Amino acid sequence: MHITQAHCQALDQQDTLAPLRDQFSLPEGVIYLDGNSLGAQPKAAPARAQQVITEEWGVGLIRSWNTAGWFDLPQRLGNKLAKLIGANDGEVVVTDTTSINLFKVLAAALRQQEAKAPTKRVIVSERRNFPTDLYIAQGLIEQLHAHGAPAYQLRLIDSPEELHGALGDDVAVVMLTHVNYQTGYMYNMADTTRAVHQHGALTVWDLAHSAGAVPVALNDANADYAVGCTYKYLNGGPGSPAFLWVNAKHQDAFWQPLSGWWGHARPFAMEPGYQPHQGISRYLCGTQPITSLAMVECGLDTFGQTSMTALREKSLGLTTLFMELVQQECSDHPLTLITPTDPAIRGSQVSYEHPQGFAVVQALIDRGVIPDYREPRIMRFGFTPLYTSFEDVWHAVAILKDILDSKSWDQPQFHRRGAVT
């Protein structure tokens, strides 16, 4: 079937999620395909930020820790977020960054294993995992070894198919990103967790590209630990605090190592000795960035008006349409699709390699289509069903075709690199 603009318009007319776009502030003339890196701004966010600054801080002052609900915001937002990832109340906190949360849960998972099976000294992950995940594991391994523990080893697989071969009785923890940031490949969480458990290992899932993008069922999968971002598909704002989930059966097993006062059983008793809080609150460390944290709620509230099932259906519609249109319009250009075409194993992004990927992405941004670029040669297009339309996909591909056909990407300004790509 030849896909036309009218076909895309018809898809928009049938789309029951289309009205949700109006809840986001998107600049005129921009097709935003980078919600997987920084989500768009919910229209409710500026007013909420204003309220926190003017009323809660300006007038309420210190009283707002109690009267404006600042103190239990990590748990209250965690309960809202839990619904999107198949978790229950009391299992999630919104706090710190994904990198820091990963350090906390990885350390807790290793402690838990050390008590039971001290000969397990391997952490399995993927070479193509987001680098901070690997760096955090390396830093923790360094730290533990420096304090005299037998060394842990990071075992990296080169593709998801190698996972089963990497599992053995020496494996303590398998730390994977559910949806890969480069390729968009998505693991089957339940099957993978089952295989990991058969070897007596624990799972740490990074949901940075899953939360708000695909349905996640942490408890159904019997997963162990999870972390993720709120500034990507959850639209929490630049640098908004991340989240952390621990299976209820592990929550009280060990302390996490960043044993700050917010994780204490009685923070305001001001006792000299640390005693961990029961439950998920022990995963907090110190005082939270309240303005930024408060805005996470604006992003979460838009999800309250729909379901992950409906969002997933539209997301697959958008990514399938994009792949088909690129095939139809740009097949004589050197674009290599690196995202699985099988909907069961892909997230909400589509990635292509192109020898001049960086310059092509800059030329797209110049024309108002915003995807992003990741080394090496990867052009990444994120689709966010809350605010992306089918006609956006049509226009994005038409502009991509024009840039490739005309080679307009080959201008000096499109080869210049900034600090952030």
Contact footprint for ligand PLP (CB under 6 A)? 97-99, 130, 132-133, 177, 181, 206, 208-209, 229, 242
Nearest to 393 by CA among 308, 337, 316, 302: 316
Question: Distance between CA atoms of 165 and 187, rounded to whole angstroms?
Answer: 16
Residue 121 structure tokens = 């000294």
Compute the C-alpha angle 172/178/182, nearest 5°: 115
Q: In this complex, which beta carbon is closest to ligand PLP, that of residue 335 or of residue 378?
A: 378
Q: In this complex, which beta carbon is closest to ligand PLP, that of residue 32 or of residue 130?
A: 130
Does the annotation count 232 as an active-site position? Answer: yes
Question: Distance between CA atoms of 371 and 361, rounded to whole angstroms?
Answer: 7
Q: Is residue 152 within 8 Å of residue 117, measured between CB atoms?
A: no
The CB-of-44 to ligand PLP minimum distance in angstroms stands at 23
Question: Distance between CA atoms of 320 and 409, rounded to whole angstroms?
Answer: 26
24, 130, 358, 387: the catalytic one is: 130
Question: Distance between CA atoms of 381 and 35, rounded to whole angstroms?
Answer: 9
Q: Is residue 283 within 8 Å of residue 255, measured between CB atoms?
A: no
* φ, ψ of residue 244 in degrees (nearest 5): -145, 130
Q: In this complex, which beta carbon is closest to ligand PLP, that of residue 209 or of residue 314?
A: 209
Pairing status of strand 202-206 against strand 225-228: parallel
96, 133, 206, 224: the catalytic one is: 206
Does the annotation count 352 as an active-site position? Answer: no
Q: In this complex, which beta carbon is closest to ligand PLP, that of residue 231 or of residue 352?
A: 231
128, 232, 314, 346: the catalytic one is: 232
Q: In this complex, which beta carbon is closest to ligand PLP, that of residue 114 or of residue 133?
A: 133
Question: Distance between CA atoms of 306 and 304, rounded to whole angstroms?
Answer: 6
Does the annotation count 206 as an active-site position? Answer: yes
The CB-of-384 to ligand PLP minimum distance in angstroms stands at 15
The CB-of-228 to ligand PLP minimum distance in angstroms stands at 8
Report helix, strand and coil shares of the chain as percent, to nearest 5.
45, 15, 40
Nearest to 199 by CA among 226, 227, 225, 174: 174
- 3-class secondary structure, 67: helix
The CB-of-21 to ligand PLP minimum distance in angstroms stands at 24
For residue 27, count CB atoms less than 10 angstroms from its CB and return exposed for 0-12, middle for 13-18, buried for 19 or more.
exposed
Radius of gyration of the chain (CA): 22
Q: Is residue 260 within 8 Å of residue 284, measured between CB atoms?
A: yes
The CB-of-360 to ligand PLP minimum distance in angstroms stands at 22
Q: In this complex, which beta carbon is closest to ligand PLP, that of residue 101 or of residue 356?
A: 101
Question: Distance between CA atoms of 120 and 133, rounded to whole angstroms?
Answer: 20
Q: In this complex, which beta carbon is closest to ligand PLP, that of residue 95 or of residue 319?
A: 95
15, 185, 380, 392: the catalytic one is: 380
The CB-of-177 to ligand PLP minimum distance in angstroms stands at 4
Does the annotation count 380 as an active-site position? Answer: yes
Give the bridge partners for 342, in sequence order: none
Give the bridge partners for 351, in sequence order: 380
The CB-of-251 to ligand PLP minimum distance in angstroms stands at 22
Residues identified as active-site: 130, 206, 231-232, 380
